Amino acid sequence: MDKMEDQNELPANYEQLKIAANRTSNWRERLEAVEQLGQWKSKQTIDVLTHRMNNDDVYQVQMAAFNKLKELGEDVQLPPRKTVELIKGVNKVLIRIKKSLPKDHSYEEFKVKLKKMRLDIYDIYEGERGADFDQWLESTWSSLSTR
């Protein structure tokens, strides 16, 4: 029997996949968990996928969950992509990190400290910006006022 047909089957590692799907500081793990959970049709997997589709801060993860739910035959709507701040007040956090560094710090030092202090912010923006992440972060860093 095809595993997509059995409504009561769960993958043997369901609990680990559920935890990975909700790990806030690693969008790649969430994406991989969504891909794996999307191979199993059950109330539990559909609930996890629906939550990721509606609540993930990285649009790539939201789209993957949406696609898996469609493949499973669910009637779902893809939420609109966020076009404003992904995380409310992110600039205040970035200014605080910049102020905590020596006045003549480099962009690389700022980037390392951001990743160390706020991996959640780093991860979400890296996942959302993709190849443009470094360009965006450096541009944002250089425009932050530290007065």
Are 41 and 108 a contacting pair, CB within 8 Å? no
In this predicted structure, what is the pLDDT of residue 39?
94
In this predicted structure, what is the pLDDT of residue 2?
45
Q: What percent of the chain has pLDDT over 70?
A: 92
The overall pTM is greater than 0.85: no
Q: Average pLDDT, stretch 50-65?
A: 94
How far apart CA 135 and CA 120 sit, in angstroms, is 19
Q: How confident is the model at residue 3 (pLDDT cuts 50, 70, 90)?
A: very low
Q: How high is the mean pLDDT of the chain?
A: 89
Q: Average pLDDT, stretch 39-63?
A: 94
5 pLDDT exceeds 60?
no
CA of 51: how far to CAs of 47, 63, 109, 123, in Å? Answer: 6, 12, 35, 19
Are 29 and 61 a contacting pair, CB within 8 Å? no
Say which residue, 120 or 34, is predicted with more confidence. Answer: 34
